[in-house]
Amino acid sequence: MQQAIPYKSWPLPCIDATSHRARSTTTLGHNGRGKDVLNIVSENAVIVLARKGCCMSHVVRRLLLTLGVNPAVHEIDEEDEAGVLNELGTICKGTENNKMVQLPAVFIGGRLFGGLDKVMATHISGDLIPVLKDAGALWL
Amino acid sequence: MDFPSTQFVPSRMMGTYEPIHQIGMWGENFKSIGNPSISASVIVEVDNKLENESETASHEMPAPSCKHDQEASKPFDKIQRRLAQNREAARKSRLRKKAYVQQLESSRLKLIQLEKELEQAREQQGLYIGGGLEAGHLGFSGVVNPGIAAFEMEYKHWMQVQNRQLGELRTALNAQISDIELRIVVENGMSHYFELFRMKSTVAKADVFYVMSGTWKTSAERFFSWIGGFRPSELLKVLVAQLDPLTDQQIFEVCNLKQSCQQAEDALSQGMEKLQETVSATLAAGQLGQGTYFPQVAMAMEKLEALVCFVNQADHLRQETLQQMSHILTTRQAARGLLALGEYIQRLQDLSTLWATHPREPA
């Protein structure tokens, strides 16, 4: 039997000491937003970028948890939002999606997957689990 | 609502009477004479005049000109003056109350009249009201939200098209038409549902609570409502039973679809719970009972904006489920499925009507 391989732990740029959230959630500090976002996105098999207290990100997270994936959730403060979205916009220009990145944004395998819409549609069509498996977020 | 012209009941025991025709006089007095003290004296004068006319012997009210015997009648005067003032105050109060009640009753009549006119106008325009004017339709000023009015009109039309399409499906399934033609009928049916989701999205921006409460639907439909519409997994249960025979592959795929639906629904439901918690916490922040709470309410409103997203996501889920079903099924099965779905909804609507009209035991 194969052993379950834990996620590679990623260096946290700034941990919010008063955060009550699960361990896998971080809150961005005020220094170096864009680069940290890039790092975090590439270091996690599945990560959800969301505004603080966003109920939609809760929906995404619950759905992924049901499928057996424990996604990292990265919360963005309101003031950092514009900067982060800009940064994401430059990353994603290379891919097919030239649309504005909307929050919550799900990244699978280091690449932008889409928003809640995309996750739902992909799950209903039965394609989400294969995508997650490919990215190494799910094992049998 | 005419008052009798002159009708008063002298009541010597009380020392008072009620000249009803005086209401008009009160009104004139109060309107034309801005100075309250002057009007008060007018009232007193009028009152004295009337009292003098009605009373003959044992006059309780001393005439203002009656100044003799002042030494002996001073305390008597004081008491009498006080009694008279009390009578004045009581009379004024009774008249004010009468005027107020009169205003209320005429407003009520006007309201009933307006409601009737509104219903007639709406029926003429072909609007579907869904059980009379409900408080939810009326904004704070009592004016119907135009987004809602537009939606109701569109929905009535949507139902008419829906019923027509169901008839076409029935005919098409019974006739021997080609798969290609049947496909067109199926596509029309699907597009029609997608059109409804678009309509709902628009009206959700105007008033999300309207969509959430399912006001435009019949009561039995509302009973099954989940985030402003049907639960996709429930619909699948209804459909699958109607679609025999399915191949093994189809059964497998439908099972997967049902499971995915269920998972997506659960995620959305949990998100809704989180939203409720957030709004509740925001609203209750700070101390309750202090009186000032507007910042909390304003913040709660911001959080509540997310409800529009939930409605949109739920409809998106419904749409994706329908799409996926149409991929799994053959054209013929899809046609039967659409017909089954449409007829199921019709049965729900008939159930609502029957329920509303069936006689009940008196309470």
B321 touches chain A (CB under 8 A): yes
Confidence of residue B289 (pLDDT cuts 50, 70, 90): confident
A126 touches chain B (CB under 8 A): yes
- Residues 6+ away with beta carbon under 8 Å from B87: B15, B16, B47
Position B203 in a domain: yes
**Helix intervals (H) in chain B:** 22-32, 36-54, 70-125, 146-174, 179-206, 208-213, 219-223, 232-242, 248-283, 294-304, 306-328, 331-357
- Residue A68 C-alpha, separation from nearest chain B C-alpha, in angstroms: 12
φ and ψ at residue B257, rounded to 5 degrees: -60, -45
Q: B241 has which bridge partners?
A: none
CA distance B340 to B221: 16
Confidence of residue B235 (pLDDT cuts 50, 70, 90): very high
Nearest one of B193, B205, B212 to B345, comparing CA atoms: B193
CA distance B26 to B32: 10
Count of pairs with CB atoms under 8 A, one residue in A, one in B: 65
Least confident of A35-44, B36-45, B297-306: B36-45
CA distance B35 to B173: 84
Asked if the Cβ–Cβ distance from B264 to A117 is below 8 Å, we say no
In a 13 Å sphere around the CA of B319, the CA atoms on its Cβ side amount to 21
**Helix intervals (H) in A17-140:** 33-43, 55-66, 78-92, 116-124, 128-134
pTM listed for this prediction: 0.65
Position B152 in a domain: yes
With contacts defined as CB-CB under 8 Å, which chain B residues touch A60? 267
State the total domains in chain B. 1
Higher-scoring residue by pLDDT: B242, A29: B242
CA distance A55 to A52: 9
Interface residue of A20, A62, A122 to substitute, partner B, most B CBs within 10 Å: A62
Position B58 in a domain: no
With contact defined as beta carbons under 8 Å apart, do B318 and B230 qualify?
yes
Position A27 in a domain: no
Position B82 in a domain: no
With contacts defined as CB-CB under 8 Å, which chain A residues touch B303? 53
Confidence of residue B308 (pLDDT cuts 50, 70, 90): very high
Using CB atoms, which residue from B266, B275, B320 is nearest to A55? B275
Position A3 in a domain: no
At A71-92, the pLDDT tens digits run 999 888 888 778 877 777 776 6
State the total domains in chain A. 1
Edge-to-edge strands, sheet with A72-76? A25-27, A72-76, A46-51, A105-108, A111-114
- Look up the domain containing A128 and give its range: 35-135
Position A88 in a domain: yes
Higher-scoring residue by pLDDT: B36, B197: B197
Q: A75 has which bridge partners?
A: A27, A50
A78 touches chain B (CB under 8 A): no
Position A55 in a domain: yes
Position B49 in a domain: no
A38 touches chain B (CB under 8 A): no
Confidence of residue B146 (pLDDT cuts 50, 70, 90): confident
Position B196 in a domain: yes
CA distance B3 to B283: 51
Higher-scoring residue by pLDDT: A63, B285: A63
Burial B184-198 (b: 16+ CB within 10 A, else e): ebbeebbebbeebbe
- Residue A61 C-alpha, separation from nearest chain B C-alpha, in angstroms: 8
Position A109 in a domain: yes
Q: What is the pLDDT of residue B208?
A: 92
At B242-262, the pLDDT tens digits run 888 899 999 999 999 999 999
- Nearest residue on chain B to A61, alpha-carbon basis: B267
A96 touches chain B (CB under 8 A): no
> What is the separation, in whole angstroms, between the first and last Cα of chain A?
11
Least confident of A1-15, A17-31, A55-69, B307-321: A17-31
- Could you tell me what percent of chain B has a pLDDT over 70? 73
With contact defined as beta carbons under 8 Å apart, do A69 and A119 qualify?
no
Q: In the predicted model, what is the mean pLDDT of chain B?
A: 79
What ipTM did this prediction achieve? 0.75
Asked if the Cβ–Cβ distance from A125 to B274 is below 8 Å, we say no
Position B40 in a domain: no
Using CB atoms, which residue from B253, B261, B267 is nearest to A59? B267
- Look up the domain containing B171 and give its range: 148-356
Position A70 in a domain: yes
Q: What is the pLDDT of residue B85?
A: 92
